[in-house]
Amino acid sequence: MVNPALQSAIEAMSLDERWELVEYIESTVESESIEVSEEQKSVIRSRAAELQGDPSIGLTWDELKARLAARKA
């Protein structure tokens, strides 16, 4: 759960400031090891199989980056 004071401060930020915060947080966790449970692995495998069965339901990496960039603009 997010600390209410922190949540309030984040909500008061501009969109650009929130994107900067996301980038900062991402940079602080990049080197951390993340445990993935068997349940999470199962969900990932299931979604990958679904995507393989119907590629039109997903986005390419370039499409995703373009959508994120459009949101940031």
Q: Structure pTM? A: 0.46
Q: What pLDDT is recorded for position 72?
A: 84
Q: Which residues contact 72 (CB under 8 A, 6 or more apart)?
A: 15, 16, 19
**28-33, long-range: CB < 8 A, 24+ apart:** none
Per-10-residue mean pLDDT for the chain, 73 residues long?
91 93 88 87 96 92 92 84
Q: What pLDDT is recorded for position 30?
A: 75
